[in-house]
Amino acid sequence: ILAGIFGEAMLTPYYLALISLAYQGPYLETLSLAASFVTITSLFILFADLIPKRLAMSAPEQVALRVVAPMQICITLFKPAVWFFNGVSDRAMSLLGLPGQRSDDITSEDIHAIVEAGTQAGVLHESEQQVIGNVFDLESRLVSSAMTTRESIVYLTLQDSEAELRRQLGQHSHSKFLVCDDVIDRMAGYVDAKDLLLRIINDEPLTLAGAPWIKPVLTIPDTLTLSELLAQFRDRREDFAIVLNEYALVVGVITLNDVMNTVMGDLVGGNQQQIVKRDDNSWLIDGFAPVEDVMHALDIAHFPDDENYETIAGFMMYMLRKMPKLTDAVSHAGYKFEVVDIDNHRIDQLLVTRVQ
């Protein structure tokens, strides 16, 4: 302000003399004053704003070391004035019923924005941005979005013969197997495949009835989030759990590896991809693909009432309000979701096309 007052007073006579050489009209003083104002403002922006910022950005450590002492002196000298004006402004804000202090809490949305800015600037790769986003999604994603569903569970029973156990071990390369008493909902525990393989190598009898190597299995409700599941895995020192619904029926199996695959996303490749991009405008999607994964793949902001379902098949059933049939379709967010394969009333595959 002082620079503007004194600068304009000093420069206006010179501009007055200069402009009077070409113009002698009634607006001579106004034009001289405007020219002085523009000159002072331009010099202030250049030397008090742009150049200091450029210097600080090009050599931040050196500039910081040089200005820290003067800044501390200024802070000490003007501390009473700052305290006084802060008190006055806080009092005025309270009288107006407005908050005097803003919240400095950092939210997940703030971090998402920072990560997105870093990706756009080239500091982060898109895959790294996806991993960071997936980590925050663990707080909202339920275990049902990452588990192996009931019909896909491979389990052993206490009644299985040695030949049946050998066949199951040969056909499925799982590290752990759920053990049940005749039916899947009567769980007896789980076994490590390596314990069974050691007995086979040592030519020992292979049976599960009364076997001491059957371990207690961790059971969790299907309302648990993936973040809460990780906490239980850590506390129990387990990496294998059975998911139960409110009727105590088994709805799925989930492992630590399933959670890690959810976090890593496309960086780790499973045996089967749930979302396959055919071209720029079409995708083949497994019916059990979690809605969150579909949102990431198709860049869809949200699905309607997504608290009522976890998978893209659930989305179709919710929107159609019936058991879907072949060629049934739903349009949402500029995409057409069409049922192309059904297996025993279960939506096995969807064809998703971008609506032009």
Which comes out higher in pLDDT, residue 13 or 279?
279
Alpha-carbon torsion (112, 255, 194, 154), positive or negative = negative
Residue 251 in contact with residue 149, Cβ under 8 Å?
yes
Domain 143-265 has CATH 3.10.580.10: yes
On the question of pLDDT at 13 being above 90, the answer is: no
Considering the chain, what is the average pLDDT of its residues?
89
21 pLDDT band, cuts 50/70/90, is: confident
**For residue range 45-69, what is the model confidence (pLDDT) as tens digits?**
888 888 888 888 888 888 888 889 9
For 246-276, the DSSP string reads: TTS-EEEEEEHHHHHHHHHGGGS--SS-SEE
Please state at what angle helix 60-95 crosses helix 51-58, rounded to 10 degrees.
120
- Percent of the chain past pLDDT 90, that is, above it, reads 50
For 100-164, the DSSP string reads: SS---PPPHHHHHHHHHHHHHTTSS-HHHHHHHHHHHHTTT-BGGGTSEEGGG--EEETT--HHH
* Residue 30 CA: distances (Å) to CA of 5, 7, 147: 15, 16, 76
Domain coordinates in residue numbering, the chain: 2-58, 108-137, 143-265, 272-354
Q: Which residues of 181-200 are buried (b: 16+ CB within 10 A; e: fewer)?
A: eeebeebbbbbbeeebeebe
Q: What are the backbone angles phi and psi of residue 46, rounded to the nearest 5°?
A: -70, -55
What are the tokens at 183?
Answer: 């039916």
All residues at 6 or more sequence positions from 183 whose CB lies less than 8 Å from its CB, including other chains: none
Which comes out higher in pLDDT, residue 91 or 252?
252
* Rounded CA separation 132/300 (Å): 18
157 - beta bridge partners? 180
- How buried is 70 (Cβ within 10 angstroms: 0-12 exposed, 13-18 middle, 19+ buried)? exposed
Q: 272-354: what CATH class?
A: alpha beta
| pLDDT value, residue 271 | 42
Identify which of 141, 135, 174 has the alpha carbon closest to the alpha carbon of residue 260: 135
What are the tokens at 136?
Answer: 């925050």
**For residue range 140-171, what is the model confidence (pLDDT) as tens digits?**
889 998 999 998 899 999 999 999 999 999 99
| pLDDT value, residue 134 | 87
189 - beta bridge partners? 179
All residues at 6 or more sequence positions from 166 whose CB lies less than 8 Å from its CB, including other chains: 200, 206
